[in-house]
Amino acid sequence: MDVIVTTSRFSQNDREGPVSFVIMDISEQVKTKQLLQENEEKRNLLIQHMSEGIFFSDEKGMVLEWSDSLERMIAIPREEVVGVPFDAMIDRLIDRRIVKVDGEKAKQFLRQAFEDRKKERFNTIWEGEMLTPQGDYQTFLAELFIFQSPKGNGLAIIVRNIDAQKKHEKELQLMADLTAVIRKCENDAVLVRKSVIDILMSSLNLDGIAMASFVDNGDGGTIVEARGRFAEKIGTKISWKNCIEQASLYGDSIFEIGANCLEKLCPDKEFIELPKTRISISLVIGRDRVGMIFAFHKERFSEYEYRLLDAVGNVAAVALNQAMTFERTELRLKRLESLHVIDQAISGLFNLDLTNRIILDQAKQQLGADAGDILILNMATNMMEYSAIFGFDHLDVEEKRVHLSRSMAGQILLNREPCVVSDISKHELPFIMKHLQRHSFHAYFGFPLIAKGEPKGVMEIYMQTPFQPDTEWLNFLQSLATQSSIAIDNIQLFEKMQSMQYF
């Protein structure tokens, strides 16, 4: 039993009176105090073992508790906040850019919480970014509680780190958006490229993004889509090897852009300060180079962004490969149909000029040619004369036929080798440069027409912009040249037989 003994003595007329004793049983009070101490210890132990951060303030707004977990979450030590009024604490958090909020609004809200004893203010949730001790911003969820006491309202806050959860949600949403958009592209490689870079540009707040395509799985590629800082780089030629020459940043798909590639994308004069993130993302299916994405961001990416870009790159590579395969298959079918049309013309027509016009019409449709012609060799005069032509506004008198030994077409026929020039500004051709410049052509393709070993003529195709064809494009042009050779040989043989019968 716990007791308190109180003694007292009363004096009267300088005479001491009797002593009185009061004995009080305080067992219950002691027991209650012990229970309170035990509860306090349990509370402190619970707070120490909670993964969530805990914050308490008293009725006057003085910070009483800043748990170890909270100290590990947020970049401010406990000794700088415990015993500090919450107004001063908020100022410190904002001044050090630990939390990005409007300080005055936050103070006003908390003052109202302390003063208002209405029940609906007991629970409030805030979600936002705060600076961690590691120096990066992560997403946190703070749940604010008001607890009431006879002296007023106290404040309790439970803080949870939900950064991994939010990133996972963002990743899932991005992949869902990307998949939904790709499904709407209907095997259109151009739309797939546009969709991928638009989604990445907005989702990651990039400074610039571009995508390159590569011809025949070769090293040379061309920027075909661009946004932001790269917007003016469409058409820029780049090298696959130069883009991945640096060490890998993530897996075997994300690399820091090498110096040679960087010079193509952003010459020194265009950038006062380079962004911290400068990466290339290779889009590969098996051994096929589907494309490459280039991305710039002013801040350095973490492993999370690299992992996200790797996942997007895989989805984009599969979608692009599928779209390109579909387009190639569709194009092959169309070209087979066009060859069938030409076969029918060769079988059913004996008008050489008309047959050659049909062949050039297929070249225009299937090859995207801006102009073209077929010249036939006149053995009697050693001149090459136009049989069919398209895409020229007009021809001068000296252009209507050309000499075998003093023309580009004649050189092709004499050498019996095709002439493929993707950009005439980089490769000057004999005899024909004035003709090309007069009609504003920048790419030239000439194929000899040979039938049964005999020279028959030349087919020429012109482009108004520099053009790098793929193997299938050149193969189809060779097929058209072969068909034209057969047509010329058949009709010449028919005309020869007719003349023999006449005589």
Give the pLDDT score at 33: 64
Going by C-alpha positions, the residue among 95, 96, 93 that lies closest to residue 142 is 93
Question: Which one of 3.40.50.620, 3.40.50.2020, 3.30.70.100, 3.30.450.20 gives the CATH number of domain 50-161?
Answer: 3.30.450.20
Confidence of residue 39 (pLDDT cuts 50, 70, 90): low
Residue 473 — pLDDT band, cuts 50, 70, 90? very high
Q: 43-52, 72-81, 445-454: which has the minimum mean pLDDT?
A: 43-52
Mean pLDDT within 189-193: 92
The confidence score (pLDDT) of residue 120 equals 47
Average pLDDT rounded to a whole number, residues 237-244 = 87
Q: How confident is the model at residue 284 (pLDDT cuts 50, 70, 90)?
A: very high
pLDDT digits 0-9 by tens, 481-492: 999 999 999 888
Mean pLDDT in residue range 45-73: 78
Please say whether the structural domain 349-502 has been given the CATH code 3.30.450.40: yes
Tokens of 398: 């000296």
CATH 3.30.450.40 in the chain: give the residue spans: 166-324, 349-502
pLDDT at 2 over 70: no
Share of the chain above pLDDT 70, in %: 84
pLDDT tens digits, residue range 405-454? Answer: 889 999 999 999 999 999 998 888 888 888 888 889 999 999 999 999 99
Query: Count of CB atoms within 10 A of residue 84's CB?
Result: 18
Overall pTM > 0.75: no
pLDDT band at 73 (very low <50, low <70, confident <90, very high): confident
Least confident among 37-41, 161-165, 228-232, 265-269: 37-41
Mean pLDDT for all residues in the chain: 84
CB 293 within 8 A of CB 313: yes
**Percent with pLDDT over 90 in the chain:** 30
**Using CA of residue 299, residue 303, residue 307, residue 313, what is the dihedral sign?**
positive
- Which pLDDT does position 102 carry in this prediction? 77
Averaged pLDDT for residues 392-410: 79
Is pLDDT of 310 > 80? Answer: yes
**Mean pLDDT along residues 129-142:** 89
The CATH 3.30.450.20 domain(s) of the chain lie at 50-161
The C-alpha atoms of residue 276 and residue 268 are separated, in whole angstroms, by 15
**Strand 277-285, strand 254-256: pairing:** antiparallel
pLDDT at 151 over 70: no
Q: Tell me the C-alpha distance between 236 and 242, whole Å.
A: 14
Q: Taking residues 354-363, report their average pLDDT.
A: 93
Name the least confident of 27-41, 260-274, 353-367, 435-449. 27-41
Q: Distance between CA 200 and CA 209 in Å, rounded? A: 8
CATH architecture of the domain covering 166-324: 2-Layer Sandwich (3.30)
The CA distance from 36 to 30, in Å, is 10
Please report the pLDDT score of residue 194 as a whole number: 93
